[in-house]
Amino acid sequence: MHLDRPPAFMRRFIHCFDVLILNTGHHWNMGKLNANRWVMYVDGKPNEDKKRDEIGNAKNFTVHSIVRWLDSHLPSYPHLKVFFRTISPRHFFNRDWNTGDTCDNTTPLSGGSEVMQDGSSDPVIEGAVKGTKVKILDINSISKLRDEGHISRYSIRGTTDVNDCLH
Ligand SMILES: *[C@@H]1O[C@H](CO)[C@@H](O)[C@H](O)[C@H]1NC(C)=O
């Protein structure tokens, strides 16, 4: 994982894009990192900064790096609009994705129809886009109201014991 390097597709195709929507979140955890045997790199070398080794700091560093890179390139692509989307909310009833938990509600807005909070739900993304031309696309709070919207176990490869209550 090159934390300070924009993804190859972005460097290669930025001149083709009209709208670019980035997002990240759910996969920033030590379980995924270890299972995939990912190693954090900064400046082309394995990361030696112990604080940056902490997954939350690594994510923050990466989000800031990508936004800075994009903001510095945006003047060359005046038609390009860039958004950083906040994370999709988890809708498991009680526990989490790997415990057989469900999100079987089928009634829209059964938990209310209003977002009561004013600020963004993601201080990392909000902090990174501040003062740049990258805009925050804050879908998190509003999507919390739509827990009936998941494909859950009804996807083609779905099984009864694993429910997708994230996407
Ligand atoms: C995230 O990174 C930025 C830039 O390096 C830093 O200013 C900020 O304090 C960091 N935020 C957190 C929550 O660590």
pTM score: 0.88
Q: Is the CB of 64 under 6 A from ligand 1?
A: yes
123-153: per-residue pLDDT in tens? 999 999 999 999 999 999 999 898 888 887 7
Break the chain into its structural domains and give their ranges.
8-164
Residue ID of nearest Cα to ligand 1 atom 10: 60
105 has a pLDDT exceeding 90:
no
Q: Is the CB of 60 under 6 A from ligand 1?
A: yes
Q: Is the CB of 152 under 6 A from ligand 1?
A: no
Nearest alpha carbon to residue 141 among 126, 163, 152, 162: 126
Give the residue with greater pLDDT, 25 vs 21: 21
Query: What was the pLDDT predicted at 82?
Result: 98
Q: How far apart are CA 59 and CA 122, in angstroms?
A: 12
24, burial (CB in 10 Å: exposed 0-12, middle 13-18, buried 19+): middle
24-76: per-residue pLDDT in tens? 988 899 999 999 999 999 999 999 999 999 999 999 999 999 999 999 999 99
Q: For tokens 């030696």, what's the residue? A: 48
Ligand 1 centroid – CA 117 distance (Å): 23
Mean pLDDT of 87-101: 74
How far apart, in Å, do the first and last CA atoms of the chain sit? 23
Q: How far apart are CA 48 and CA 86, in angstroms?
A: 29
49, 60, 62, 125, best to mutate for ligand 1 pocket (most atoms within 8 Å of CB): 60
Q: Is the CB of 59 under 6 A from ligand 1?
A: no
Query: What was the pLDDT predicted at 163?
Result: 76
Q: Strands 45-46 and 81-85: what pairing?
A: unpaired
Query: What was the pLDDT predicted at 58?
Result: 97
Residue ID of nearest Cα to ligand 1 atom 7: 127
77 has a pLDDT exceeding 90:
yes
160 has a pLDDT exceeding 90:
no
Query: What was the pLDDT predicted at 26?
Result: 84
Q: How far apart are CA 107 and CA 95, in angstroms?
A: 21
Query: What was the pLDDT predicted at 96?
Result: 65
Query: What was the pLDDT predicted at 6?
Result: 94
98 has a pLDDT exceeding 70:
no
